[in-house]
Structure 1
Amino acid sequence: MRVAIVTESFLPALNGVTTSVCKVLECLRAGGHEALVVAPGTTPWAETAAPERYAGYPVHTVSSLPIRQFRVGLPSYELETVLHRFRPDVVHVASPFVLGVRGLTAARGLGIPSVAIYQTDMPSYIRQHSGPVGDLTARAAWRWIRRIHSQADITLAPSSAALQDLAAHDVPRVALWGRGVDSTLFHPDRRDDPETAALRRRLAPNGEVLIGYVGRLAPEKELHRLIELNGLPNTRIVLVGDGPSADILREQLPGVVLLGRQEGVDLARSYAAFDLFVHTGTRETFGQTIQEAAAAGLPVVAPARGGPVDLIDHGTTGLLFDPDRAGALRDAVAALAAGELAGERAMMGAAGRARVEERSWPALTEQLIGYYGRAIAQHSMAVA
């Protein structure tokens, strides 16, 4: 199969959209498929440029603008030329909002079936950053999303909560497609690595229980909730990631350790060094870091809202807390953080690991290829 992937985010940016696209490309290569990537480019003076190829596939970059530390690809008529020359069987559009809109329009104009991946809860993000007119702009964003996704033959949502949101806002032709996890990279055995042991000694010199978070340090991640954990006995909060909230988090969380942006084995060792994992955002359509933490054998504490509801079996693989009740996060973490509860944490972590072992990227990509075939069939029926 020939697949053109138009993505709103790609390397060197690291986030859930980029990770999903890269893993799908790797699995498409392993399966012998052909692919092309269209992504936002970087400015000539950027320290790290977008790659010219990934997994052996060409990467075509378009002009972009930086907005709140994100690169936003500008819509361009060159997309039609790129797609016309490549002649894909299907166009896969990852988290369409600006560049992806042009991708869907171009696919439709060229008569190519398309699959849109809904991944970012943009209305909630816009509501949070729009002040007094937040609700108005969020409603406008949903109208825009409905208009975007109505062009796709299929829209894939990552969780049951996201699927319900799309259906509630009249987005047509939706289906559920989760996310895979690299259960080889993220593995409980890394806890026994000498490098991981050294990291633990540095982070917990007095045997502290390490409460970890991985992700962007930004307001939409609601990391202010971690303030509830201040003063929790014999614990230390460790944050992996970067973003505009880094400095204020240093002030709000006495004793916090910020390890910065990590990837690959370094990231896997950080997970392995933690004793439990905390996720704070209530607007996540999925929660990829929750899966990575579970693969590393960690119990996870997260809000009982959005994507985490599908990923955490409350009381078995972790705990879900009520984000509307003050102190609920602290209570949940305290229920797992006491030193004598190491055995219970290990049991939860093992249960979480068992669940994610079934969610490999090859398996999820095979499911995605099935959706490609479904989109092709639906498109053929629509134009017949």
Structure 2
Amino acid sequence: MQSQAKAHGPLAGIKVLELGTLIAGPFCSRMLAEFGAEVIKVESPDGGDPLRQWRVLKDGTSLWWSVQARNKKSITLNMKQEQARKIAKRLALDADIIIENYRPGVLEKWELGFEDLKAINPATIMVRLSGYGQTGPLKDLPGFGAIGESMGGLRYVSGHADRPPVRVGISIGDSVAALHGVIGAMMALRHRDVTGGRWNGKQGEACVAGQGQMVDVALYESVFNLMESLVPEFDHAGVVRERTGGALPGIVPSNTYTTAEGENIVIAGNGDAIFHRLMKAIDRDDLAQDPGLVRNDGRVPRTAEIDEAIQTWCSGRDIDTALQILKAADVPVGKIYSVRDMMSDPQFLARQMFEQHAFEDGTPVKLPAITPKMSETPGQTQWLGPRLGQHNQEVLSGLGYSDAEITQMLADKII
């Protein structure tokens, strides 16, 4: 594991407190940590974040954890105890950004809600990620990514028309919400800085500071935000977008096709000039020269005919030959990648999309590289996901607690 060097990057000097588990909140703070923010993650001393035990494990800890918690500092606080909540409040008041994904009302019960903190520190920025947001009739219900994907419209349009909806193979609802949280946090930080900057006072003292705010992220709304023209199409034309498998309805041709050996490729020949090149490349000059197919609105009614022509051509060729011919014709085409394909692909390798690291026992492990790529202030993996409570001593000492006090907290099961 790499040494925990001093943070650098565009967010160096920004302090973030993470009060959350699993995916949405932790992914949000993970991105801030990757670009230099100091992220202190509060975990329960009784096992910590459940994600530590999700999916494939190494020595009892999830491999996912090495990515999701990289660059974070783990401290344990038993939030059932008053002293632990007081410590959390001190950390929150010292933070530039607080990220949480508990059910609405939990932080208020602990006197750590946005209004509680804002009354002391007017520059408080709190990113709140939940299933349904902080208001509305559903706000108190538990919210998971799968529910957000369903309510936000993504599941309804995913899959084939003659089968039940399917899920994307990752927790896309949580991750999309996390990205909205990052965007909101950055905009709130900008607003705070232009209205006065960081709060430099102490508890109970008035101090001039910038204006903080709450960033209220609902999972279902984050998914809904991706749904393109869904609303105006229904409102204006009564169109309900349905499941269409691998096709892109109304934009022709764009679909998934199967080659001779059963492998799948995506072909996007929906631009007018691209369509012409595609038809010539697959030896269908008759379609390339058909005046009724020159524009997309003419191709849409003949979608089945065009797809059949492309599929017939693909069925007679192996995937490498099909890719070579279509790329030579400057037609957007791509193989559907598994992780095995990614790990040896020249584009992934040229863009340095994998980082080599090692666990504490020296076992090597590759992680996905950090995105986006920034020319002057790139992100960096400083260390892998930490052990539970690994930074208790460091963080609590920084708050002024003595070694003896920290030892007593451990004995009293506060940490």
Q: Which has the higher strand share?
A: 1
Q: Which has the higher helix share?
A: 1
TM-score using structure 1 length: 0.35
Higher relative contact order (CA 8 A, sep 6+): 2
Q: Which structure would you say has the larger Rg?
A: 2
